[in-house]
Amino acid sequence: MKRILVLGAGGQIGTELVPHLQKHYGYDNVIAADLKPEIVARLSKGARAVTLNALDIESYAKLLKNEKIDTIYNLVALLSATGEKNPQLAWSLNMGALLNSLNLALDNNCSVFTPSSIGAFGENTPHYKTPQDTVMRPNTIYGVCKVSGELLSDYYHTRFGVDTRSVRFPGIISNGALPGGGTTDYAVEVFYEVAKHGRYTCEVPKDTYMDMLYMPDALNAATQVMEADPYKLVHRNSFNVTSMSFTPEQLFTAIKKRVPSFTWDYKVDPVKAQISASWPDCLDDSCAREEWGWNPQWGLDEMIDDMLEACARKVANGEY
Ligand code: AKB
């Protein structure tokens, strides 16, 4: 049985990845680590949780040894929009956590999953059916970290034999923890605002296409790529994955069909407009399908129905 550490466990993905991993590998085999004690206090209600600064390599090494960890899910990252407010911090945090994870994985014989992103692509990437292997010249610090992270992870695999694997996540839509600081966050926020106020002001231009995944598919992507037969992997860092692509206007129109009183408008944030315009409209994820059987289950309509119900419940229970 695997012994797993989830770093940055209190964020949007970690909050749901921890119970998903517990279900597959057992409660005791999953350690949830986060920087902030108040987040660790929340996590400890449903997991073995510890406070850890991923940049503190000695504490990180001690935890790996004490817990006999063999698999690291490194989710530590400042996202695209927040990264632009403090590029130096984004670089030192995103790359520092990755470099420590790779070096400690080498010393302790661990596998490492570090999500990449559609943010790894840039303006001169082909935007329609963006290929697995293509031009990658992002113009955000987040994207620069993601491309560097992909290259570094592949380097640690080919040079030192570390088992590194990854997927390029699009926007992830979920109703566990809210995302924070991303360009795709609008596609989550809108559901809470529909439930609470019946209206939403969107900061991304109405006609910008971006790929999205519903959380259950994102969780499966993270565990399936780590379980894949290594001999079938032509790629490692990182695989395109997607299940839907839409514009804000298309999403809001589809919500309005279910909630006729819903209204929305736009107050475009120039940073988010620039970032979202530079990202793909839709990815080609055929390599993930061929090499490890990627097969997402959630499309736009099922996702909207599920999100509306879950967010209405959360608002009714006073959880938002
Ligand atoms: C962001 O918007 O920054 C993230 C991402 C697509 O990586 N959600």
Q: How far is the CA of 120 from the centre of ligand 1 (A)?
A: 10
What is the pLDDT averaged over residues 44-71?
A: 98
**3-class DSSP assignment, residue 8:** coil
Task: Please give the Cα distance from 316 to 43 (Å, whole number).
Answer: 23
Probe ligand 1: pick from 78, 183, 211, 278, max atoms within 8 Å of CB? 183
- pLDDT at site 257: 98
Across the strands, what pairs with 169? 117
| Tokens found for residue 171 | 């926007």
CB 141 within 8 A of CB 84: yes
CA of 287 relative to ligand 1 center, distance in Å = 21
Question: Whose structure tokens read 């991923």?
Answer: 54
* Cα separation, 35 vs 245, whole angstroms: 33
pLDDT for position 180: 87
Between the CA of 280 and the centroid of ligand 1 the distance, in Å, is 12
Q: Residue 180: phi, psi to the nearest 5?
A: -150, 120
Answer for the pair 62, 78: CB distance below 8 angstroms, yes or no: no
Question: Dihedral (C-alpha) 56, 75, 104, 84: value to the nearest 10 degrees?
Answer: -60
Active site residues: 142
Give pLDDT, residue 57.
Answer: 98
Smallest CA-to-CA distance from 69 within 35, 32, 20 is with 32
49 three-class SS: strand
Distance CA 23, CA 21 (A): 5
Cα separation, 166 vs 150, whole angstroms = 8
Closest ligand 1 atom number to CA of residue 210? 6
Q: Is 2 helix (H, G, I), strand (E, B) or coil?
A: coil
CA angle 130, 164, 278 (to 5 degrees): 25
Q: Which residue has the higher pLDDT, 1 or 258?
A: 258
pTM: 0.97
CA distance 172 to 5: 21
Q: Which amino acid is at 159?
A: R
Among residues of the chain, what percentage have pLDDT more than 70?
A: 100
180's tokens? 């924070």
- 140-190 pLDDT, tens digit each: 999 999 999 999 999 999 999 999 999 999 999 999 999 889 999 999 999
CB of 125 closer than 8 Å to CB of 139 = no
What's the confidence (pLDDT) of residue 320? 85
Q: Which among 2, 11, 55, 57 is positioned nearest to 32, based on CA atoms?
A: 11
For the beta carbon of residue 82, count every other beta carbon within 10 angstroms: 16
Radius of gyration of the chain (CA): 19
Mean pLDDT of the chain: 97
For residue 319, is pLDDT > 90? no
Average pLDDT over residues 213-224: 98
* Cα 183 to ligand 1 centroid, rounded to whole Å: 6
Residue 26 has pLDDT above 90, yes or no: yes
Residue type, 296: P
Ligand 1, residue 118: give the atom nearest the CA. 6
Q: Give the per-residue pLDDT at 12.
A: 96
pLDDT beyond 90 at 1:
no
- Checking if the pLDDT of 102 tops 90, the result is yes
Residues with CB under 6 A from ligand 1: 79-80, 117-119, 142, 169-171, 182-184
Separation in Å, CA 59 to CA 5, 50, 54, 55, 317? 13, 11, 8, 9, 38
Give the position of tokens 């503190």: 56
Residue nearest to atom 7 of ligand 1 (CA): 117
pLDDT in tens, 257-307: 999 999 999 999 999 999 999 999 999 999 999 999 999 999 999 999 999
Residue 314, H or E segment: helix 300-316
> What proportion of the chain, given as a percentage, has pLDDT over 90?
98
List Cα–Cα distances, 262 to 196, 201, 246, 265, 306, in angstroms: 11, 11, 18, 11, 17
Q: Are 81 and 182 in contact (CB under 8 A)?
A: yes
